[in-house]
Amino acid sequence: MYASVADLRAEGVTAAEASDERLMALLDEATALIDRVAGWFFEPRPATLRLDGRGAPSLELPVPPIRVHRLVVNGAEMSLAFEDLIIEGAPLQPGFVGPRITLTRGRRFPRGRGNVLVEGLWGFTEPDGTAEGRTPPAIRRACLLLVLRNLAPLADDAAFEVRSRWRVIEERTRDQSIKLDPAAAANGTLTGDPEVDALLEPYVRPSPIGAA
């Protein structure tokens, strides 16, 4: 998860407002939403990926590798020595274009479906002096905001105020009647919340090379 219960307590959420268990559930939900709309994830996670070789020296990856533990091509173990393999991954460095693995010495990944297996530790992280890096602060903030937006019960007036304030185009104080802008909701490109979307948009996974 991209934030913690302690982070939310520091934001002023009390135990009377939500238990640790509820906050954990909301954090998990917010993290899953960020992963879905961004197209990749922002913390170290172990995984084994099976990819298609395309007859080229480089293989585009769906998420930045932090460490590659094993590379198998057409059933054969490949060397992970620096002189045999160039890995572009995380923590991200200046000039990063996209995650990929490149074979050296004129070699290519042979064409095939699911014929390349890459096992390792993955995640879009930023440098912090450690080998694994950190979750970008903007992602952490977006996660906290999503939880805070969803913390109050759905029927609660305060919850409506938090979720919908950015869409209000007209208010009448005596009857407490408001008018929402339907276009504002339609234009929410990621989560529907402009403040959260502004944090997430720089981190959305770009379309693969050659994609329509």
- Give 84-142 pLDDT, tens digit per residue: 999 999 999 888 889 999 999 999 999 999 999 999 999 999 999 999 999 999 999 99
Task: Specify the pLDDT at position 82.
Answer: 87
Burial (CB count <10 Å: 0-12, 13-18, 19+), residue 76: exposed
Q: Which residues of the chain have pLDDT under 70?
A: 152-188, 208-212
Q: Encode 171-193: b = buried (16+ Cβ within 10 Å), e = exposed.
A: eeeeeeebeeeeeeeeeeebbeb
pLDDT of residue 172: 55
Residue 158: half-sphere exposure toward Cβ, Cα within 13 Å:
6
pLDDT at 178: 45
Contact call for residues 42 and 136 (beta carbons, < 8 A): yes
Q: Six-digit token pair at 79?
A: 């060397």
Return the pLDDT at 152.
Answer: 67
Per-residue pLDDT, 95: 82
Distant-in-sequence contacts of 9-14, Cβ < 8 A, 24+ apart:
11/144, 11/148, 13/148, 13/151
Residues facing 53 on adjacent strands: 112
Per-residue pLDDT, 154: 43
The pLDDT of residue 208 = 59
Report the candidate in 56, 57, 55 with the shortest Cα–Cα distance to residue 111: 55
Q: What are phi and psi of 207, to 5 degrees?
A: -65, 140
The domain ranges of the chain are 5-40+136-203, 45-122
- pLDDT value, residue 192: 84
Q: Is 3 helix (H, G, I), strand (E, B) or coil?
A: coil
Asked if residues 87 and 101 have their Cβ atoms less than 8 Å apart, the reply is yes
**pLDDT attached to residue 97:** 87
